[in-house]
Amino acid sequence: MEGPPDYVLPSEPAAEPLRRLLEYWKAKCVGRNLPRRQDIDPADLSFVLANLFLMDINLAEVPRNRFRFRLFGTELARIHGRDLTGKTFHDAMDHEPADGSVRHATRLVNERIPLFVGGRVLYLKKDWLAFENCMLPLQNDAGEVTMILGATIYTYPSTKSGSAT
């Protein structure tokens, strides 16, 4: 059996828009409480809005249906070739990367921590394209993690004069 795709799980994001999003999220944390959806103002996130997503979490669902995109930014839709609003990871990707995304999101819910991942866009068969993803938990008034605020930044290969890419 082949192993999982070669993804990295950094402790902090490298891409500037993701670092800014993380700092924004941290500023919205109050004590040990995570931010709530109503604490997040999209007008504050114009620097990353096209790359932003929101996911609803329904823990009563089976894992493959537990995470559903509520909002899917225009740059994400362009890269994916479609808007994934209302879709799950398994609606968006092949089985193996979708299962990995569910495990990653489940860890975020259970540990109540931001998570980051980066690598090549193998799940869309665009291995020439690199990505970095940031997922941040949001809680409801009862303190349960019920949403994920996230963003994905894509890095295109550089084209240098005189070299083939």
Report angle CA 36, 59, 147 to the nearest 5 degrees.
25
Domain with 143 in it: 48-155
Flag whether 126 is in a domain: yes
pLDDT value at residue 93: 84
65 domain residue, yes or no: yes
What's the predicted TM-score (pTM) here?
0.86
Residue 61 has pLDDT above 50, yes or no: yes
Q: What is the pLDDT of residues 108-151, one digit of tens each?
A: 999 999 999 887 765 666 666 788 999 999 999 999 999 999 99
Q: Is residue 2 included in any domain, yes or no?
A: no
Structure token pair of residue 75:
């740059």
Contact status, residue 141 vs residue 164, Cβ threshold 8 Å? no
Average pLDDT, the chain: 87
CATH code of the domain in which 54 resides: 3.30.450.20
Tokens 């303190």 belong to 143
Is 162 a domain residue?
no
Tell me the pLDDT tens digit for each residue of 16-34: 999 999 999 999 998 889 9
Q: For residue 111, tell me if it sits in a domain.
A: yes
**For residue 78, is it within any domain?**
yes
Give domain status of residue 66, yes or no.
yes
Percent of the chain with pLDDT over 90: 64
In a domain, 42, yes or no: no
Closest to 95 measured CA to CA, from 119, 61, 131, 64 = 64
Q: Number of folded domains in the chain?
A: 1
Instruction: Residue count of the chain, please give it.
Output: 165
